[in-house]
RNA sequence: GUGAGCGUAGCUCAACGGCAGAGCACUGGACUGUGGCUCCAGGAGUUGGGGGUUCGAGUCCCCUCGCUCACCCCA
């Protein structure tokens, strides 16, 4: 029986791996510009970390975690998202006592046990950033700008930014109560799913895709109309700053993030080229998270970008240019010479490949062409006898005879 | 977890229930010291797996596994 990769996972081979790496690198550049530092946390954590932060009644915790019990009895989970681990590391390493604000970023695999479909995998990759410390609305706006800028450098355009405010620990309970009452009065008309949500997590209902429910919810109480004075002020300021950054957005009162730790600002960046899973980047503010994890009461804002989704819509070109050299050996007895040539080219920093099969000249030439080398260095009877190499430029087809001791310089210079 | 569609060569796909094929890719050659273009040749398959109907199943039926899309949810 063949062993196959497990459901919902992917192999990234050659160009695809390069492409993912390119996206990581582009993001790094921008994150550095904004003053962010990388944090690498373990891919597994105590399951309780996610139960407590993401929320017991969320889908992620209820049915999407890869978790397993250790012999010691503790339950470990493969991280389903990146914010909680970063927050845990922040608290555990007391970063708040080292600096007033922390700007942290992470990139790497996340795991959710969901049914795979387009743009949705069980192991997927995120680039995320967390700004921990500032409470000011300017921070929210800057984080949103950063999220948009990452997408831009990754070759993603025509995005749509949607924002909402989900209130704070003071005004949200009042709103949820109000919403639950509303759902109660419509219990006969809404779908079964929503009836269940009414009790467990009423804000979820607003996300319902069924036309019937949607129609009813158009008249549902909206978070934005039920914010406390402070939250409303904060939300308005976020919008003011976004405008001053010339960032276009729409307020979507139906955005309810699937993680419980969010407070106030919630946002999603949508791209229509993605199919049903149309969020390419999303995030929000989490003013209670650090405190909940046993740290001081310090607010934060952050977001995460889906790398596979970016790859699907990115316009960055993925073709690789001709580069380096190939060594073509006419006769087996010249192999030793070829080996030392290959070695010296490589130690001079020049990409160099050789066709190990030493077939006909034609077949070697064809293979080296497919390897995308710029130059083919031919090593044959004549060359060995007279002390030069024949070098063919595969771009122009031009061919020259180069003395042995000038070969490195020759293949290095032309671009 | 629910629904739908699809599983045939490495890839993309053909084959009225009647000899398993084509294109691309790969390998070699035409051009024995020259890549791409063209032409010729070659290797390649338990038709996802199991059962059933039939003289005969890639094709029809059942089961199973996998993939894809959608619901759900989210990056």
- Closest C1' nucleotide to A307's CA: B75
Domain edge (last residue) among A313, A341, A372: A313
Residue A7 domain-assigned (yes or no): no
Q: How far is the CA of A63 from the C1' of B60 (A)?
A: 39
Answer yes or no: do A31 and A123 share one domain: yes
Residue A188 CB partners (closer than 8 Å, separation 6+) = none
Residues A159 and A287 in one domain: yes
Same domain membership, residue A234 and residue A166: yes
Residue A131 and residue A48 share a domain: yes
Give strand B nucleotides closer than 7 A to any protein Cβ: 1-3, 26-36, 66-75
Q: Which nucleotide is nearest to A256 (CA to C1')?
A: B74
Residue A1, pLDDT above cutoff 60: no
Give the predicted TM-score (pTM) of the model.
0.90
In chain A, % of residues over pLDDT 90: 63
ipTM confidence score: 0.86
Instruction: Compute the average pLDDT of residues A80-98.
Output: 96
> How many CB atoms sit inside 10 A of residue A211's CB?
8
pLDDT of residue A216 exceeding 90: no
The total number of residues written for chain A in this structure: 415
Distance A9 CA to B46 C1' (A): 27
Over residues A374-385, the mean pLDDT reads 92
Nucleotide with the nearest C1' to A364 CA: B35
Most confident of A248-262, A357-371, A394-408: A394-408
Which of A313, A336, A370 is where one domain is finished? A313
Question: Is residue A148 scored above 90 in pLDDT?
Answer: yes
Nearest residue for B49, CA–C1': A1
The CATH number of the domain holding residue A142 is 3.30.930.10
Q: Tell me, yes or no, whether A177 lies in a domain.
A: no
Q: Which nucleotide is nearest to A116 (CA to C1')?
A: B68
Return the closest-CA partner of residue A104 out of A304, A282, A308: A304
Residues A91 and A121 in one domain: yes
Q: Which domain holds residue A26?
A: 15-170+228-313
Nearest to A302 by CA among A163, A110, A146, A97: A146
Q: Tell me the two tokens of residue A362.
A: 């034609």
Residue A98: CB atoms within 10 Å: 8
Please report, rounded to whole angstroms, the spatial distance between the CA atom of protein residue A112 and the C1' atom of nucleotide B18: 49
User: CA of A11 and C1' of B58: distance in angstroms?
Assistant: 30
Amino acid whose CA is nearest the C1' of B2: A115
Contact A45, A77 (CB under 8 A): yes
Predicted pLDDT at A26: 97
The CATH number of whichever domain residue A389 belongs to comes to 3.40.50.800
Looking at residue A145, its pLDDT comes to 97
Average pLDDT over residues A82-104: 96
pLDDT over 90 (residue A259): no
Query: What is the pLDDT averaged over residues A112-126?
Result: 92
What is the phi-psi region of residue A399: left when phi exceeds 0, alpha when psi lies from -120 to 50, beta otherwise?
A: beta
Do A285 and A400 have their domain in common? no
Domain boundary among A278, A313, A348: A313
For the CA of A33 and the C1' of B3, the distance in angstroms is: 47
For the CA of A314 and the C1' of B55, the distance in angstroms is 58
Q: What is the tally of structural domains in chain A?
A: 2
**Nearest nucleotide, CA A270 to C1':** B75
pLDDT digits (tens, 9 = 90+) for A297-332: 999 999 999 999 999 999 887 667 788 999 999 888
Buried b (16+ CB within 10 A) or exposed e, A130-165: bbbbbeebebbbbbbbbbbebbeebbbeebebbbbb
Å between CA of A363 and C1' of B40: 17
Q: Which nucleotide's C1' sits nearest to the alpha carbon of A4?
A: B66
Q: Is residue A10 one of the residues assigned to a domain?
A: no
Our measurement of CA A334 to C1' B38, in angstroms, reads 33
- Token representation of residue A341: 């040539």
A244 lies in the same domain as A389: no
């Amino acid at each position: 029986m063949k062993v196959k990769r497990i459901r919902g996972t992917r192999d990234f081979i050659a160009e695809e791996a390069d492409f993912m790496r390119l996206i990581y690198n582009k993001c790094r550049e921008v994150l550095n510009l904004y003053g962010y530092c990388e944090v690498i946390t373990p891919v597994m954590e105590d399951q309780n970390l996610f139960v407590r932060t993401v929320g017991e009644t969320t889908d992620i915790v209820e049915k999407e975690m890869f978790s397993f019990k250790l012999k010691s009895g503790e339950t470990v989970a493969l991280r389903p998202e990146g914010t909680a681990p970063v927050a845990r590391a922040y608290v555990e390493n007391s970063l708040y006592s080292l600096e007033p604000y922390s700007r942290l970023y992470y990139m790497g695999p996340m795991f959710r046990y969901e049914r795979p479909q387009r743009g949705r995998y069980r192991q997927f990759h995120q680039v995320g950033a967390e700004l921990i410390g500032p409470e000011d609305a300017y921070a929210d706006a800057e984080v949103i700008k950063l999220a948009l800028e990452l997408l831009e450098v990754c070759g993603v355009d025509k995005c749509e930014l949607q924002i909402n405010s989900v209130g704070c620990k003071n005004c949200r309970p009042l709103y949820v109560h109000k919403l639950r009452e509303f759902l109660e009065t419509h219990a006969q008309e809404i779908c079964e799913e929503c009836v269940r949500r009414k009790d467990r997590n009423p804000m979820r209902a607003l996300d319902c895709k069924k036309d019937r429910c949607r129609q009813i919810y158009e008249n549902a109480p909206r978070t934005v109309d039920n914010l406390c004075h402070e939250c409303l002020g904060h939300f308005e300021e976020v919008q003011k700053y976004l405008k001053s950054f010339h960032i276009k957005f729409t307020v979507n009162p139906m955005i309810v993030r699937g993680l419980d730790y969010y407070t106030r600002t919630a946002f999603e960046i949508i791209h229509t080229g993605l199919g049903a899973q149309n969020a390419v980047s999303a995030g929000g503010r989490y003013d209670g998270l650090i405190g909940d994890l046993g740290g001081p009461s310090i607010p934060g804002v952050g977001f995460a970008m889906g790398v596979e989704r970016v790859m699907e819509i990115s316009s960055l070109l993925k073709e690789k240019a001709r580069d380096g050299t190939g060594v073509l050996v006419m006769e087996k007895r010249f192999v030793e010479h070829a080996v030392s040539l290959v070695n010296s080219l490589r130690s001079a920093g020049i990409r160099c490949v050789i066709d190990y099969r030493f077939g006909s000249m034609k077949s070697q030439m064809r293979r080296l062409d497919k390897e995308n080398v710029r130059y083919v260095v031919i090593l044959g009877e004549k060359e060995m006898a007279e002390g030069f190499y024949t070098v063919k430029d595969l771009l122009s087809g031009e061919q020259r005879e180069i003395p042995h001791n000038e070969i490195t310089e020759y293949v290095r210079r032309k671009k």
